[in-house]
Amino acid sequence: MAQAKKALSKTSGKNNSRPASRAAVKTYQNYINGEWVASQSGEMFENINPADTRDIVGRFPLSTSDDVNAAVNAAQGAFDRWRNTPAPKRAEILFHLGEILIRDKERYTADMTREMGKVLKEAGGDIQEAIDCTYYTAGEGRRLHGFTTPAEMRDKFAMCVRQPVGLCGLITPWNFPMAIPSWKLIPALICGNTVVIKPAEDTPLSTYNLVKACEEAGIPPGVVNLVTGYGESVGAAMTNHNALRLISFTGSTATGRVVASACAERNAICSLEMGGKNAIIVMDDADVDLAVEGAVWGAFGTSGQRCTASSRLIVHKKVYKQFVTKLVENTKSLRVGNGADPKTDVGPVINNDAVEKIMGYIRIGRNDDGAKLACGGKRLTRGDYANGYFIEPTVFTDAAPDMRIAQEEIFGPVTTVIPANSLEEAVEIANGVRYGLSAAIYTRDVNRAFRAMNEMYTGIFYVNASTIGAEVHLPFGGTKATGNGHREAGTQVLDIFSEWKSIYVDFSGKLQRAQIDNVESSHSA
Ligand code: UN1
């Protein structure tokens, strides 16, 4: 998943030069208890366009633990009323939210491309994912199924219902600035929780847009609270806040571990979505053109900044040469540029830290690992690229599975091709990383497809499709260092944002002792 970002300095390390009129830059506020308010410190940070750092998207509150405390108090104050609002009623508001998101999709899309860099089509997809999630999850308002089951004794009834967890802290990444907040926010709300949400400091505008739409949809004050700022301050204050019963975090595996330990200290529920090192296996019977198309889309879509990105391509030796030739050709034809230009295929990466990290991995790939750099490998700095964070789509070939570029999450437009001799070997290589989010196979052989499906230890698996492109009604998440056992999306997400309550109703009018009276009576029967 998204790398946790280093905090930018207040005046922002992200921008090189200032726009002519700083006064024209729009100022945004936190949303606490139904009011738009400045941070208590009064300080702000800047949201910068990664395609052109002279463009300041907006100024947002540089919040502190004081703002988190206020937001948590608001969430506390609203909780009883919201949890006792019938779920179908909560759903009505969320359906209305879905309508607003559809109405303003175009504006949100432009905002997202401007603050995050992804191309307009993909930004539209991100908003669409939030819309899909909203409609799908709102439908749960008339389900939220529990279950009944026979009790072990006569005249006794047993059932299980979902209850809200309570106050939830949501910490979200910059790479899917509206979709991922929606994956957390909407299920939290339908289950009857109240929330404090902290968007990534690089992309607060998309979450602001989502929260603003929540306000317009009629979600009562205090139910959704927005606090912007950095992980080190706002994120840490949330993670350590005793009243937040649950922290849902998407970001780097390193930060996730810190979040998890803090939650463990105070017995809070913690759901984590973290890194990936996803492999596409290409078999010798595959449609190679289709596989190349899938690889290019999976590796370079969102500039490779997806936790599901196809960062490893494990290719059968029999089609290796053919695959690599076509892959390199296709990759070279990608147009890198500002995502707002409809002709652009690959936008910038998110910020300077990302540039340094990705370029660092490109150096490691060439020098330490000794893989072959087949194309790309450079930062683009001239002409239109001069003020942005652009990196050429990069392909390494002839890599060994244990190389660092084949093991570590780069989170940028870099993919690594590894040759394999058989399906068994390919699967072993594909499984041989610490992460377990997504994997794919291209083959025309149904037996091989099912074999790989059975053997890959990941949370998501694709046949004849890339490693990206999950849909909202199926569970999303991964094994090993990718997560901690939870799944977002689908109905499975309800198990994060609600807790089971088992209820026994004894209508016998006498004391019935479980595990004792029924055993005695069955023996004597
Ligand atoms: C992510 O990369 O953090 O499956 C989420 C996909 C998208 C979600 C990706 N629907 O690629």
DSSP codes of every residue in 261-272: HHHHHTT-EEEE
Look at residue 521 in the predicted model and tell me its pLDDT. Answer: 59
Q: How far is CA 144 from the centre of its chain?
A: 23
Question: pLDDT (tens digit, 0 to 9) for every residue of the chain, 525 residues total?
Answer: 333 333 333 334 344 444 445 558 999 999 999 999 999 999 999 999 999 999 999 999 999 999 999 999 999 999 999 999 999 999 999 999 999 999 999 999 999 999 999 999 999 999 999 999 999 999 999 999 999 999 999 999 999 999 999 999 999 999 999 999 999 999 999 999 999 999 999 999 999 999 999 999 999 999 999 999 999 999 999 999 999 999 999 999 999 999 999 999 999 999 999 999 999 999 999 999 999 999 999 999 999 999 999 999 999 999 999 999 999 999 999 999 999 999 999 999 999 999 999 999 999 999 999 999 999 999 999 999 999 999 999 999 999 999 999 999 999 999 999 999 999 999 999 999 999 999 999 999 999 999 999 999 999 999 999 999 999 999 999 999 999 999 999 999 999 999 999 999 999 999 999 999 988 655 554
Q: Which two tokens stand for residue 193?
A: 């929780």
Q: Which structural domains are found in the chain, ordered by start? A: 34-145+166-274+487-499 (3.40.605.10), 279-473 (3.40.309.10)
Spatial CB neighbours of 523, under 8 Å, sequence gap ≥ 6: none
Q: Are 349 and 315 in contact (CB under 8 A)?
A: no
Look at residue 510 in the predicted model and tell me its pLDDT. Answer: 97
Residue tagged 């149904």 (tokens)? 446
Look at residue 24 in the predicted model and tell me its pLDDT. Answer: 86
Spatial CB neighbours of 445, under 8 Å, sequence gap ≥ 6: 283, 285
C-alpha to C-alpha distance for 247 and 238, rounded to whole angstroms:
8
State which of 180, 461, 468, 493 you would mutate to test the pocket of ligand 1, scoring each by most atoms of that ligand within 8 A of its C-beta.
468
Q: Report the atom number in ligand 1 closest to the C-alpha of 307.
A: 2
Q: Is the pTM of this model over 0.85?
A: yes
Catalytic residue ranges: 273, 307
Look at residue 20 in the predicted model and tell me its pLDDT. Answer: 45
Residue 306 CA, ligand 1 centroid: distance in Å: 6
Task: Tell me which H or E stretch contains 207.
Answer: helix 204-217
Q: Report the atom number in ligand 1 closest to the C-alpha of 1.
A: 3
Q: Are 405 and 365 in contact (CB under 8 A)?
A: yes
Q: Report the atom number in ligand 1 closest to the C-alpha of 301.
A: 11
Look at residue 518 in the predicted model and tell me its pLDDT. Answer: 83
Residue 227 CA, ligand 1 centroid: distance in Å: 24
Q: Are 120 and 302 in contact (CB under 8 A)?
A: no
